[in-house]
Structure 1
Amino acid sequence: MTLDLHTLLAILAMAAATVLTRMSGLFLLRHVEMTEQTRTAIEAIPPAVLMAVIAPTAFATGWAETAASLVTALAARRLPMLASVAVGVATVAILRTAGL
């Protein structure tokens, strides 16, 4: 297996962008007054991102995926992100197995 220099540079650039994005968020939050309204808004970001990722699947595929997207959206209101994704994956697997 060979690794092209351009591919390696692209991987390193994406890793740097990811790290810098996360670090800048932590740095910027130090300078924000954390009121209850701000905290609520920040806590709403992960479910919103999850919905943005699964929304195209919900509307562009079959009934099993649409139902699983709805279940995932409901789970995201109460569960952590990873648990919500796991619920969605399990739901689509069960519905596909059932023939929907």
Structure 2
Amino acid sequence: MSHAGEGTTLLIILAAAVATYATRIGGYLMITRFRSIHPRAEAALNAVPAAVLSTLVAPAFLYGGLDVVVAMVAAFFVGLRFSSIAMLVVGWLAVMALRHSGIF
């Protein structure tokens, strides 16, 4: 990588870090100013984790290939009964086994 590219990359990383910090601290400061949160606003804030998870999982499920879909389905069913760590391990093992087997 050239020296010019390294500087640009570093600036992009720093800008992303500043933007991330600013949005987090800004949200915290804004919420702490309210005496109470309206129930609709609270419901919207409670929906954020599910929305973020959906934006991460859906593209991989739709475009990741059959090995990824099989691993996600296996992880989903394990997640219904066991902990998140077990779900993660099963999903990871499934996709690695399917890729290593040469079937997919």
Q: TM-score, normalised by structure 2?
A: 0.58
1:84, CA displacement in angstroms? 8.6
Question: One-letter code of the match for 1:28?
Answer: M
Rounded Cα–Cα distance in structure 2 between residues aligned with 1:13 and 1:85: 34
The equivalent residue for 1:10 is 12
Ranges in structure 1 where 5+ consecutive residues have no aligned partner: none
- Aligned-residue CA RMSD (Å): 3.8
Question: One-letter code of the match for 1:6?
Answer: T
8 Å contact kept, 2:76–2:87: no
| 3-state SS, counterpart of residue 44 of structure 1 | helix
- Higher relative contact order, structure no. (Cα contacts within 8 Å, ≥ 6 residues apart): 1
Rounded Cα–Cα distance in structure 2 between residues aligned with 1:36 and 1:79: 31
Q: Give the ranges of 4+ consecutive aligned residues of structure 1 lying more than 6 Å apart after TM superposition.
A: none
The equivalent residue for 1:52 is 55
The equivalent residue for 1:64 is 67
1:61, CA displacement in angstroms? 2.9
Quick one: structure 1 residues 41 and 90, their matched pair in 2 at CA, closer, same or farther if it must change by over 3 Å? farther
Give the structure with the higher percent helix: 2
Larger radius of gyration: 2
